[in-house]
Structure 1
């Protein structure tokens, strides 16, 4: 594929993703700036990220640490890019994440949060944190269970180099908007409850909704919608 064709393809996909979000916000009766696209760029080359950045996108989500660090080096001249780590986070990766990312969406243990706080460089702003909630109670999924969420949130909110911003979830796949809305509504209600119990925390973020459930997520108050394939296309086989 030529650079021109790649630009045209990316531009068309990105415009379609933005239009889909605009339509979902309008249908939900929400302001057009009430939710933002998080472009999930895992497995995609830095050149594609640069092209989407040139189209106006600033928030990018990465799942794989080493891959992300290499892209960040290549894109170091884009000083207003905002990097979100959205993948599973083990203890041996926290230092690099604390040093190189603006957001982490996948915190589900106090140990991980403490390490991120301790390892966040002093010259950087506090790291924005979303707690990942296992809202569908799937054994195969990471995330804190809903009944343990408030205790974890209260602990994380006290850590000095973190800003607890909200919640993230990846619900079990279901068919139909009504069925999709149920776990997303539960996540929204969990955030509302935390806002009452932690009034001093900047809890303003619901990271939920992907290609298959964007409309349901926007109806239930999503503020960050994570889209990968819809923008960048399917992953290429090795």
Structure 2
């Protein structure tokens, strides 16, 4: 059973109370049609050490397995699962004030992804892909203040650096991935959800609900997804 508090001091200083597993699953079941999609995007603006996002990833990886199974076959193709699993983990975003939570959250997500990767890909495992996933997590799970939209220092004070998220898509029929970087402020302006920062959903993180309006991005890269860590840190 996951502990709901780490210490009384953290509750007092930061209001830190983690959501229990039963409640996490009950809430995610309300948006099951999205958690069962490999490429649906989720943002948790107070992710803690990852109770929500880890369960989202588990569900997405099950969907990735199904998408990687070719017609009239029973098992996923390793390389196709690798690709689908990268799409799954690249669609999950989180922000937290406390750096130890951010590090733990990234590690939990990586461990869940890596366990499935090893189980399915076995002899076709790529160390480059592992490093790419770690890099994607370093950009998607960030230490910051989701209310001010700024990165924070070790004392949880705002810095002068805005939170920047990357959108990851694989729009080509190969292993190339497209990365676009956006400021969190621009995404919130485009999504029009300032009045409800606690929403956790994929509906309008990088476009409006109809997919018609894209916020202005800072920069764009296109490269093989296994080389994500080599571009634009």
TM-score by length of 1: 0.31
Structure with higher RCO (Cα < 8 A, 6+ apart): 1
